[in-house]
Structure 1
Amino acid sequence: MSEEISKIMVGIDGSEASIKAVRKVLDMAKKYSAEVIAIHISLIPYYLRRLPQSGWEELRAYDDEQMKIWLKNIMIEANEKNIHFKALVKETTSSIVNEIIRSADAENIDLIVLGSTGKSRLDRMLVGSVAQGVMTNAKCSVLVVR
């Protein structure tokens, strides 16, 4: 990992592991005077987006609200530490891994930090599948927090 860390992206899904990752990132950001971008990816399958009655727009609004709840105290802590912090909610119809990598490239991220396990039972069965995919394919360094 390079000593030149100016932008750190951290994935958040509301799980204990992702909240722990965000807290670790705040410590790192203070040390390196880095900007922090928290990202949540909404997976909205393509077939749902084609159905007007599916209410996928409400799913997106729900994810926005959840992100605010998850990050409420973290944003306060970032402000107290004078850390430039922003949150992004993006959506994909196919791959959370690809959207994280695409977003990291677009934001010129130096380091991606992810929790080791996700929130859902399926995520626990596929332990670290997103983290593994990001580690394998990202152009920048990736840190997995346990």
Structure 2
Amino acid sequence: MFKKILVPVDGSALSHAAGELAADLAKQHGAAIVGVYVIDPFPYIGIGDASAVGLQAYLAEAQAAANRALEDLKQVCVARGVSFSGDTIERNVTYEGILETADAEGCDLIVMGSHGRKGVQALILGSVAQKVLTHAKVPVLIVKPNAT
């Protein structure tokens, strides 16, 4: 049924759980996993050397975090014998980067975690998962934190 499953990652335990579920689905369906990590652009555009140094430090740390998150997903896929490819992209709006990747890669399912924020926290922080659900052209499977 599914041939290519997109898994947005952020390095969290919830992202890891979504990756495990996606890899299990991929194994059952003979599908491939596409991982994506969306980096927010550098938040400050200033003048002078300090801005350039800050930009380099920010990008280096963001890329390192992306590499760790994608490597984690890769290892989950390798353990299950599932094909994996991953990419890091930079976008102002995270959910748009996820949807663009799903479209560009021809993914037919998106599996991602949702932290389940509610109330004022959800209103202030927004929900990437909610926006992906609202705008996706393909099915979206949301992995929620374990209720304890």
- Aligned twin of 2:86: 87
Local SS of the residue matching 2:11: coil
**Quick one: which amino acid aligns to residue 107 of structure 2?**
I
- Is 1:8 equivalent to 2:5 in the alignment? yes
Q: Distance in 1 between matches of 2:68 and 2:131?
A: 27
- Aligned twin of 1:59: 58
- Picking from 24, 27, 34, the partner of 1:27 is 24
Offset of residue 83 of structure 1 = 1.1
- Aligned twin of 2:99: 101
Q: Unaligned regions of 5+ residues in structure 1, if any?
A: none
Instruction: State the superposition RMSD in angstroms.
Output: 2.5
**Quick one: which amino acid aligns to residue 98 of structure 1?**
E
- Aligned twin of 2:110: 112
- Is 1:48 equivalent to 2:44 in the alignment? yes
Local SS of the residue matching 2:44: helix
User: Structure 2 vs 1, CA of residues 20 and 77 (structure 1 numbering), >3 Å: closer, same or farther?
Assistant: closer
Q: Distance in 1 between matches of 2:41 and 2:46?
A: 11
Identity of aligned residues (%): 31
- Tell me how many residue pairs correspond in the alignment: 137
Q: 1:42–1:91: 8 Å Cα contact kept in structure 2?
A: yes
- Aligned twin of 1:69: 68
User: Structure 2 vs 1, CA of residues 19 and 110 (structure 1 numbering), >3 Å: closer, same or farther?
Assistant: same
User: Structure 2 vs 1, CA of residues 133 and 80 (structure 1 numbering), >3 Å: closer, same or farther?
Assistant: same
Local SS of the residue matching 2:19: helix
Q: Distance in 2 between matches of 1:97 and 1:51?
A: 30
Q: Unaligned regions of 5+ residues in structure 2, if any?
A: none
Offset of residue 74 of structure 1 = 3.8
Local SS of the residue matching 2:6: strand
Q: 1:63–1:89: 8 Å Cα contact kept in structure 2?
A: no
Q: Distance in 2 between matches of 1:73 and 1:41?
A: 15
- Normalising by structure 1, we get a TM-score of 0.80
Q: Distance in 2 between matches of 1:71 and 1:99?
A: 16
- Normalising by structure 2, we get a TM-score of 0.79
Q: 2:2–2:108: 8 Å Cα contact kept in structure 1?
A: yes
Offset of residue 49 of structure 1 = 5.0
**Quick one: which amino acid aligns to residue 76 of structure 1?**
Q
